[in-house]
Structures are given as C-alpha cells and as structure tokens.
Structure 1
Amino acid sequence: MLSNILSYLQLAVAYVRLNLNAHLEYRGAFITQVGAMILNNTIWIVFWCLFFTRFPVLRGWTIQDVITLWAITSAGFGLAHAIYGNAWSLTNLIVLGQLDVWMSYPRTLLPHLLLGQMNATSWGDLLFGYGVYVFFVKPDIVHFGTFAVLTISTAALFVGFSVLTGSLSFYLGNSEGLTQQWRNSLITFSTYPPTLFEGWVKVLLYTLIPAGFVSYLPVAALQKVSLIQTLLAVFGSSLVLFIGVGVFYYGVRRYSSGNLMDMRG
C-alpha cells in the first residue's frame, strides 16, 4: 500500500512538472491568466471589506471570517484543479469518447486521467487563497497548519464533486449545461457566510450542494482550532470524493468508445 502511494505521488509530481512546463512555454499567457484570477478574487475581497465598514458583524461573522472563507475556498479549488485539471473537463472527455487514450495505460484509469491536464487559472486561486490568508489573518503556526490541512480536504471535495458532476454524461448524454450549473452553485454557496441561509437551504449545503464542508466547517475549525470540526470537514470531503469515484466507475460500464488510436507521450 505504501509503495503504491509513493509511486502515485511520484507520478503526480511528474505530471505537475510536465504540465507546468507546457504552460510556461507561453509564459505571458500563463501569467496573464493567473494574474486575472487573482484580480477577480481581490475585487470580491474589496467588496466584502466595504460591506463590513458599514455592517461590522454579519450574523456573528466578521470580515476576518469572510476572508478566511474566501481563502479556504480559493486555495482548495485552486489546488484541486491546478493538479487534477481533467476533473473540470471530464464531461467533454466522456461525450467525445476520449477516455480511450487513458484506458490504454497500465495505471488505474481515474487517478491517471485526472492528472492529464492542468487548469492555469487555478494557480491564481491557489496563490490568492494562501496570500490573502497570510496577509489579512496573520495566522500562527497552529492556524496555518490547520489551514493547510483544510485546503487539502477542500481540494479533495472539489475533485470529487467535479468527478461526480462530470460523470453525469455517462448517464444523461451531453450534460455539460447541468454540470456547469451544479458546479457553479457549489462555488457560489461556498463563498457566502452560511449564516445567511436557513431551513431547507441549509440542508442542501450538506447534501446536494456540499458547500458546508467547504465553508462553515473549515472556518469553524479555524476559529476554534477544533479537531472535531476539522475531522468532520475531512469526513465530508472524503465522502463526496468516494461517491464521485463510485459514480465514475459505475458509469464507465456504459461508456461508448470514440475509437481513438493515438497515445499521449
């Protein structure tokens, strides 16, 4: 088991290096995309700062809590899709019959497939998340360590959710519209304080749109440095990842080959 994990980590590092080098072949475009994403996220932080100058507390949440919320969401999303970029493109890969290439490799299909591409703008999210957390919150070593763990947990949730929603194409045909709407809902709800939502909406935040494991639990864990809240966040993320993997492999049985004969080097 340990040797398999180490082998996969080596594969992941190799893919990240190769994909990053490929993007850096067009260094100007890569830097522009990263910078544009950082700027986009910064505008939202400015909005919230202006909001809290007028309303210092929002149902118990302060500006520091909202910045932490944005930091953990951005860093988790960025880490997920900077490494596993094909998770975001899974719908098209299925619809166009392009899984054939990945099925020809000796490695396990899904882990290898997800590493195949890198989302350039996600590096902007990752850098923004860590940068804004360190600059505004100024965490001590314990808070920063907890933040790093929760970033990985959130990244696992985003990967699992992207796989889950992307795998709908196995069952519904071209589900790109539904997939994008569902993913955007998760991102949107994850960037607003959960105290704004009540009743059945809050139930959705821990089930159909699992934003509670991205927003409320990680922020609560960082507020109190709570091991229980951290473990609950990790459990929720692991569950979403497990469901996504299960839906993908069950859907592979229904996959129609695109009869692609080329190999990736």
Structure 2
Amino acid sequence: MDDRFRPPGTLGLYRRLLGAHLRAVLEYRADALLTVAATVLGQLAGLVFVVTIFAQTPVLMGWTRWEVLCVCGMVMLAEGIGSLFCEGAWQLSGMVNMGALDYFLIRPYPVVLQVTGSAVGVNGLGNVLIGVSLLGLSAGRIEVAWTPLTLLWAGVLLVSGVLVKTALSLGTNALAFWLLSPSNSVAVSVHMLGDLARYPLTVYGPGMRSLLTVIPVAFVGYFPAAALLDKGGSATIGAFSPLVAVAATGVALALFSRGLRRYESAGN
C-alpha cells in the first residue's frame, strides 16, 4: 500500500490530534505569546525566591544553589511537557459532567489518548524553555562527572520525572468519574503540592516528607536529582525513580479504565 494512504498508527494519530489543537491555539498568536510570556515571568519570580535564599547561605541542608536550581529545572521541564502533550486530562471533569466522552467512546481510538490529546497547553512552552535553560546552566556547575553512562542515566531520570508528573495529572483527574463535580479540587491540590517538591525535602518535617514521597510528587524532580547528584539516602530512593514512574503510570491508567467503566453519560 502507498504510504500516502496507509492509516496512521496510534502515535501518528496522537501527533495529528495534538497538531490540530496546536494550530487552533496558534491562530491567536498574540494570546499564545502572552500566555508563554506570563508563564516565563511567573517561573522567574519563583526562581528569585531561590536566589534570594542562597544569597544569605551558600548551602541549604546539604544542597547548593545550582543543585536546587537543577531540581527546579527538572520539575519545570516535566510540567511543560505534560502541558504540551497531556493538557486534555485537566478537562476531564467537564467532559464527564457534560457527557462529552460519548463522542470519544464511539471512535476506534483509545479513549485515554483522545482525552489527553484533546487540548494543548501553550503555557507548557514557557515551562520547557525555563526548565531546559536551568538544566543547561546548572549542568556545568554541579559536581557530576559527565560520562556517556551518566548522560544516559540523567536522560532516564528526566523521562521518569515526566512520566510521574503526567501520571499524577491523569490519575488525579480520573477521580472525576467518582467525584462527579465540574471541577476537580483533588487534582488542583496535588498540582499545587508539587510546588513544594521543587526544594530539598530535608527542609520539611517528617510528615511533609512522607506525604511528598507517597503521593509521589517528589519523584518528579527531587529524587531524580538526588540520584544524579548522589545525595546519600535520597540518592538510593531516587534510583528507583524509573520503577516509580512505571508504577505511577500503571495506576493512573488503571484508575482511568475503571472510572470509564462506570461512566453513565449525562443523559439527554
């Protein structure tokens, strides 16, 4: 069969779906640019807080300024990629309440991919921009011997953080099947909790450390960075980041699948 007429695979369809939504968003270029600019400014404001702290002390609970900025970069990159490729998960509550999932159920394409690919968060571009910049700047200022094996390990840890962040977004938003509310306060709360994981967990008490580990927002940036920087006990836990990413993804997909089975539409 001619490749021009060959039906695209699952990933190909997902790419086309996201591309269509991205083109729709970019039709209003000024609005898109303002959104990206606002995201960049918001993230920079948070970084000023970190720089201000380290202006008073060179080391915070065993972490230097550039090591903390490396954690921030990982978190921002994960948030940005999640916004660009899975923003539709945040619209799931509205879809459940309005019965919009009915359209997805009759299409011969995985419902979960239709949901996650139903929107593109252009603000993710700002997060990716800041995240990549921070990681690039901190790479030469942290005590890591960059060998090919280390680069591979860093890539695995970054991908793990992205998967954990995406899984958290999908899993918490999938609770809309049970909460039956037009907004999902659980998903928003977990997302806001993730802001605390931009800093070393050692600055928090035992209860907060346990919460950020169990949820597990600390595996988006803190534990992967600890594993890369060989930060003692945290590095040992961080070495399990790929396994946590696989487990979190499995739980999120299972929640979505189970919730979809109890979906009853919104009626006429």
TM-score tier (shorter): 0.7 to 0.9
| Counterpart position of 2:220 | 214
User: What whole-Å deviation, never above 9, does each CA across 1:134-163 have from its counterpart, x for those lacking one?
Assistant: 134338575655444333222211221112
| Counterpart position of 1:199 | 206
TM-score by length of 1: 0.86
Q: CA 1:137–1:130 in structure 2 vs 1: closer, same or farther (change >3 Å)?
A: same
Cα distance between partner residues in 2 of 1:127 and 1:146 = 22
| Counterpart position of 2:195 | 188
Unaligned runs of 5+ in 1: 1-5, 261-265
| Counterpart position of 1:42 | 44
Cα distance between partner residues in 1 of 2:221 and 2:202 = 10
Question: 2:69 is matched by which residue type in structure 1?
Answer: I
Identical amino acids, percent of aligned pairs: 24
Does residue 1:110 correspond to 2:117, yes or no? Answer: no
CA-CA distance at 1:229 after TM superposition: 6.2
| Counterpart position of 2:58 | 56
Per mean C-alpha deviation after superposition, the further-off stretch among 218-227 and 121-130 is 218-227
The one of 233, 236, 247 aligned to 2:244 = 236
Cα distance between partner residues in 1 of 2:84 and 2:31 = 16
Question: 1:219 is matched by which residue type in structure 2?
Answer: A
| Counterpart position of 2:253 | 245
- SS across alignment from 1:206: helix
For this pair of structures, how many residues does the alignment match? 253
CA-CA distance at 1:56 after TM superposition: 0.9
| Counterpart position of 1:3 | none
Does residue 1:30 correspond to 2:32, yes or no? Answer: yes
The one of 166, 185, 196 aligned to 1:177 = 185
Unaligned runs of 5+ in 2: 1-7
Cα distance between partner residues in 1 of 2:223 and 2:205 = 16
Query: Conserved in 2, the CA contact under 8 Å of 1:75 and 1:130?
Result: yes
Cα distance between partner residues in 2 of 1:228 and 1:159 = 23
Cα distance between partner residues in 2 of 1:240 and 1:120 = 25
Cα distance between partner residues in 2 of 1:35 and 1:59 = 33
Please give the residue correspondences for 1:151-162 in structure 2 after superposition, counting only pairs within 5 Å. 151-162=158-169
CA-CA distance at 1:180 after TM superposition: 1.5
Query: Conserved in 2, the CA contact under 8 Å of 1:194 and 1:215?
Result: no
Q: CA 1:210–1:96 in structure 2 vs 1: closer, same or farther (change >3 Å)?
A: same
Query: Conserved in 2, the CA contact under 8 Å of 1:150 and 1:233?
Result: yes
Cα distance between partner residues in 2 of 1:138 and 1:62 = 13
| Counterpart position of 2:262 | 254
Q: CA 1:168–1:234 in structure 2 vs 1: closer, same or farther (change >3 Å)?
A: same
